[in-house]
Amino acid sequence: MNDKNGIARTLGDIGLFYTDQSDHEKSLEYMLRALKIQEEFGR
């Protein structure tokens, strides 16, 4: 996939899902993955 912004957005959405499920460790994992991609592209 070449849509890195879309991937980051999806990872963030998955992180929010885990937050809603009170799985904060898993949520943080996905949020950090999303952040890493966003930082690579200066967003």
Full residue range of the structural domain in which residue 34 is found? 4-40
Q: Residues 41, 4: contact at Cβ < 8 Å?
A: yes
- d(CA 19, CA 31) in angstroms, rounded, equals 10
For the segment 1-43, what is each residue's pLDDT rounded down to a tens digit?
A: 568 989 999 999 999 999 999 999 999 999 999 999 999 887 6
For the chain, how many structural domains are there in total? Answer: 1
Specify the pTM. Answer: 0.86
Q: Residues 40, 33: contact at Cβ < 8 Å?
A: no
- d(CA 4, CA 19) in angstroms, rounded, equals 22
